[in-house]
Amino acid sequence: MICIGLEGTAEKTGVGIVDSEGNILALQGRALLPDKGGIHPREAAEHHAENLVPLIKKSLEEANLKPEDLDMVAFARGPGLGPALRTVATAARSLALSLDVPIVGVNHCIGHIEIGRLTTGCQDPLTLYVSGGNTQVTAFDSGRYQIFGETLDIAIGNCLDQFARTVGLGHPGGPRVEELALASDNYLKLPYTVKGMDLSFSGLLTAAIRKYESGAALEDVCYSLQETTFAMLVEVTERALAHSKKSEVLLVGGVAANQRLREMLEVMTQEHYADFFMPEMKYCGDNGAMNAWLGLLMYRHAKNLNMADTHVIQRYRTDQVDVPWMEKSARKLELPVELVAKGAEANICSGHYLDEEVLLKKRVVKGYRIREIDAYLRRKRTKNEAKLLGEAKRCGVVTPLVYDVDLKESVITMEKVAGNEVKVIFSGENSMDLSTIKSISRIIGENVARLHDCGIIHGDLTTSNIILREDGDSVVFIDFGLGKISDLIEDKGVDLLVFKKAINGIHHDISRECFDSIIEGYSCARDCKEIVAKIEEIEGRGRYT
Ligand SMILES: Nc1ncnc2c1ncn2[C@@H]1O[C@H](COP(=O)(O)OP(=O)(O)O)[C@@H](O)[C@H]1O
Ligand SMILES: [Mg+2]
């Protein structure tokens, strides 16, 4: 079967032809490059309207095929810019009708993952997808690609482009920022905004622009902007890797063209004993072949395809789509024997303190980020964690006893809690029954309420960061490194949203029951109603800008 795929979710028009064995027979594309300003959705749509037909013709020539050799048409329904999506959908429908072949509308983000798997040979990766319109970390679980982390405001590509435009570097700005960054190693401190596995770039963008406006050298700002945003991207990928325990990392999307980002992600992947993959650049950015290949996969598993399923979905989420062709890899990461556990940030080893058997949590140097950021984060988080472990206790939340804090080496010596991570109780071979899971979830919710009522934001609520004591009578909260003191409804909402997403990513089949029970337990918190409403509001904020 031969499929033609059309792409035009943003400023790039793409056409590709792929057969059902995964051979890419043609790949043609053309990007809109405005003289000044950013991408206007209507101009993108016009660009697709002008370029689709010539690119289809060129693709057929490249593949040495005639139109009647095509067996199906695929295109991306979203996410993307409304006018652009509608133009491409209309073209795809007309093409399918005139050829009298089936048509499949696909999810653009999944297209990136699937062409990545096809062209690199990775099986079950954790994917970092970075482009002008999207920034997300996804991994397969329970029949779908679940979103582990994503931007809460603008995408990384948009952040770099907007910066470049504002300081007069033109569009697209990513390559110019990369070039200038090479000329500096003078780091200017910028806000570092990681929220659990989510990110935020807009405040950071403003801060970078201010630095430039107040006289800093452009090279230095470019360097600092890249180092900060990429360290954040790599860190959320690292958090998702530690939580999901996948053994492969895949980098896709237009921003993958950046050498520095690639290098950083590769170093992180090696530090976690996993394998790094990235498709050739022509398959990394938006292209038609990815939609063609995903269309073939979907067609193979589709029950009944309907022309009505070709309407566009501007905010089409990756986790809305079933991916029945995917299977979980059985491969497990192997840790060196001296490690009890490897978290996102720290290595956990056994040790002794006086006569006690204890755990040493060492925030190790991360080779992927520059020394200035690394030293700052390790020290700040170690200090923060030690402080909040104590504060939380005073609010009636059980945390491990802290015996010693070594800020120079970023090591916390603490009580070894006998028990299991809640993660292994909620899912997997040794999981408990649903009613037990729900009652544990309620207890967890009550404890989060206690933290919040005392003004403590945990910052990284996941089921890896809560331990159920062996005797089963208490939950122990650990890993407060990203925590802070705040009484803001927004911060409490984000804290719970981080938790909700972490549960959704890894315990997808029971996530609703779990989170509902957590909220039930949380209902004793001050301002509970407003906080819960806030979660929905934050979820609803635009991610495609
Ligand atoms: N005090 C402790 N008692 C028992 N297990 C722990 C303790 N601290 C950490 N662990 C285990 O080590 C893992 C990683 O520790 P964590 O503090 O979450 O590090 P990171 O900040 O790197 O995520 C945890 O998920 C948990 O399984
Ligand atoms: Mg942790």
Q: Is 272 a domain residue?
A: no
Q: Which residues of 88-121 are buried (b: 16+ CB within 10 A; e: fewer)?
A: bbbbbbebbeebebbbbbbbbbbbbbbbbbbbbe
Using the 3D structure, point to which of 198, 226, 245 is the last residue of a domain: 245
Q: Tens of pLDDT along 277-294?
A: 999 999 999 999 999 999
From CA 47, how far away is CA 33, in angstroms rounded?
10
Q: Judging by DSSP bridges, how do beta strands 2-7 and 72-78 pair with one another? A: parallel
Q: What is the DSSP string of 63-126?
A: HT--GGG--EEEEEEESS-HHHHHHHHHHHHHHHHHHT--EEEEEHHHHHHHHHHHHH--SS-E
State if residue 412 touches ligand 1 by the CB under 6 angstroms criterion: no
State if residue 260 touches ligand 1 by the CB under 6 angstroms criterion: no
Q: Residue 428, by phi and psi: left (phi above 0), alpha (psi -120 to 50) or beta? A: left
Q: What is the CATH number of the domain that holds 536?
A: 1.10.510.10
Query: Could you tell me the residue range of the domain that residue 143 belongs to?
Result: 126-245
For residue 428, the model assigns a pLDDT of 87
State if residue 481 touches ligand 1 by the CB under 6 angstroms criterion: yes
Q: In this structure, are 486 and 430 located in the same domain?
A: yes
Q: How many domains does one find in the chain?
A: 4
Q: Tens of pLDDT along 340-359?
A: 989 989 999 999 998 889 99
Q: In this structure, are 64 and 112 located in the same domain?
A: yes
For residue 335, the model assigns a pLDDT of 82
Give the pLDDT band (50/70/90) at residue 154: very high
From CA 98, how far away is CA 104, in angstroms rounded?
15
Q: In this structure, are 136 and 228 located in the same domain?
A: yes
Q: Ligand 2 centre from 128 Cα, in Å?
A: 20
For residue 473, the model assigns a pLDDT of 76
Q: In this structure, are 130 and 111 located in the same domain?
A: no
For residue 471, the model assigns a pLDDT of 84
Q: Is 429 a domain residue?
A: yes
Q: What's the mean per-residue pLDDT of the chain?
A: 94
Q: Ligand 2 centre from 31 Cα, in Å?
A: 41
Q: In this structure, are 130 and 178 located in the same domain?
A: yes
Q: What is the CATH number of the domain that holds 347?
A: 3.30.200.20
Determine phi and psi for 348, rounding to 5 degrees.
-110, 125
In testing the pocket of ligand 1, which one of 356, 478, 506 has its CB within 8 Å of the most ligand atoms? Answer: 478
- Nearest residue CA, atom 23 of ligand 1? 343
Q: In this structure, are 141 and 212 located in the same domain?
A: yes
For residue 332, the model assigns a pLDDT of 77
Q: Ligand 2 centre from 462 Cα, in Å?
A: 8
Q: In this structure, are 361 and 301 located in the same domain?
A: no
Q: In this structure, are 424 and 369 located in the same domain?
A: no
Q: In this structure, are 452 and 507 located in the same domain?
A: yes
Q: Is 264 a domain residue?
A: no
Q: In this structure, are 165 and 76 located in the same domain?
A: no
From CA 296, how far away is CA 72, in angstroms rounded?
8
- Nearest residue CA, atom 17 of ligand 1? 479
Q: Is 168 a domain residue?
A: yes
Please, which residues bridge with residue 145 across strands? 140
Q: Tens of pLDDT along 398-407?
A: 999 999 999 9
Give the pLDDT band (50/70/90) at residue 337: confident
Neighbouring C-beta atoms of residue 213, cutoff 10 Å = 11
Q: In this structure, are 26 and 134 located in the same domain?
A: no
Using the 3D structure, point to which of 315, 333, 367 is the last residue of a domain: 315
Least confident of 20-24, 149-153, 187-191, 230-234: 149-153
Active site residues: 460
Q: Is 275 a domain residue?
A: no
For residue 544, the model assigns a pLDDT of 37
Is the Cβ–Cβ distance between 421 and 362 less than 8 Å? Answer: no
What Å distances lie between residue 380 and 192, 263, 325, 495, CA to CA?
12, 25, 44, 19
State if residue 495 touches ligand 1 by the CB under 6 angstroms criterion: no
Amino acid at 198: D
Ligand 2 (single-atom ion) residues, CB below 5 Å? 343, 465, 479
Determine the distance from the C-alpha atom of residue 528 to the mean position of all C-alpha atoms in its chain, rounded to a whole number: 28
For residue 542, the model assigns a pLDDT of 54
Residue 152 has pLDDT above 70, yes or no: yes
Q: In this structure, are 165 and 66 located in the same domain?
A: no
For residue 545, the model assigns a pLDDT of 32
Q: Tens of pLDDT along 432-446?
A: 999 999 999 999 999
Q: Tens of pLDDT along 217-248?
A: 999 999 999 999 999 999 999 999 998 899 99
Residue 80 has pLDDT above 90, yes or no: yes
Q: Ligand 2 centre from 464 Cα, in Å?
A: 6
Q: Tens of pLDDT along 294-327?
A: 999 999 988 767 767 899 999 999 999 999 999 9
Q: What is the CATH number of the domain that holds 235?
A: 3.30.420.40
